[in-house]
C-alpha cells in the first residue's frame, strides 16, 4: 500500500459518504416532488456540491506525491473531509415533507453548506501551494478565485436570482475547467 493509499483510505471513505448524502437527498427530493415545490436552488446546490467534491477528489489524486504520512496531515484531511460531509449532509432536507418549498430550505441552510465547501476549498488552496513552496499562478488564482467569489455571493445574498445564477455558473465553471485543464 502506498502512502497516498493509506492516507486516502480515510479521506476517500468520508468523501464517498458525502457523495452518498447528496445523492440520497436528491433521491428523497425526487420522490417528494409531487408533494413539495422543489424549485431550482436546492437541486443546483446539490449539483454544485457533487461537482466540487469530485473536483476535490481529483485534486487529491494530483497531489498524491505531496501528501506526507503524518498526524498533522491526517488531522487536516479529517477536518477538510468532515467539513465536506457536514455541507453534503445539509444540502437536502432529511424529511422533504417538512418543507412546502425547497427554496425556503436553501435559504435556511445555504450558509452552512456553502460556507463549509468554501472553507474546504480555501484551506486546500493554501495548503497545496504552501506544500509545493510556490506562489499561486494567475491561472490558479482565476480557477480558484472565481468560484470562491461566486460561492461568497450565494452565501451573502438573500436573492433567489443571485443563488440560481451563482450556482449555475459554478457548475458550468467546474465542468468547463475539467474539459479545458
Q: Is 107 left (phi over 0), alpha (psi -120 to 50) or beta?
A: alpha
pLDDT, tens digit only, all 181 positions of the chain: 777 777 778 888 899 999 999 999 999 999 998 999 999 999 999 999 999 999 888 877 777 777 778 888 889 889 999 999 999 999 999 999 999 999 999 999 999 999 999 999 899 888 877 766 667 677 777 777 889 999 999 999 999 999 999 999 999 998 887 777 6
Q: Can you give the pLDDT at residue 50?
A: 96
User: Cell numbers 468560484 correspond to what residue?
Assistant: 147
Q: Can you give the pLDDT at residue 132?
A: 66
Q: Can you give the pLDDT at residue 30?
A: 93
**Which residues does residue 37 pair with via DSSP β-bridges, in sequence order?**
101
Amino acid at each position: 500500500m502506498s502512502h497516498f493509499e493509506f492516507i486516502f483510505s480515510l479521506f476517500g471513505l468520508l468523501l464517498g459518504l458525502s457523495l452518498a448524502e447528496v445523492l440520497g437527498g436528491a433521491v428523497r427530493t425526487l420522490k417528494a416532488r409531487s408533494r413539495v415545490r422543489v424549485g431550482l436552488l436546492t437541486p443546483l446546490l446539490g449539483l454544485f456540491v457533487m461537482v466540487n467534491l469530485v473536483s476535490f477528489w481529483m485534486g487529491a489524486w494530483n497531489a498524491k506525491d505531496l501528501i506526507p504520512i503524518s498526524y498533522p496531515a491526517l488531522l487536516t484531511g479529517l477536518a477538510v473531509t468532515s467539513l465536506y460531509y457536514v455541507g453534503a449532509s445539509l444540502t437536502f432536507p432529511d424529511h422533504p415533507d417538512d418543507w412546502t418549498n425547497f427554496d425556503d430550505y436553501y435559504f435556511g441552510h445555504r450558509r452552512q453548506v456553502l460556507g463549509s465547501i468554501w472553507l474546504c476549498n480555501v484551506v486546500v488552496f493554501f495548503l497545496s501551494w504552501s506544500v509545493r513552496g510556490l506562489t499561486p499562478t494567475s491561472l490558479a488564482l482565476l480557477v480558484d478565485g472565481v468560484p470562491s467569489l461566486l460561492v461568497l455571493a450565494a452565501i451573502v445574498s438573500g436573492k433567489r436570482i443571485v443563488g440560481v445564477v451563482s450556482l449555475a455558473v459554478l457548475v458550468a465553471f467546474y465542468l468547463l475547467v475539467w474539459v479545458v485543464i
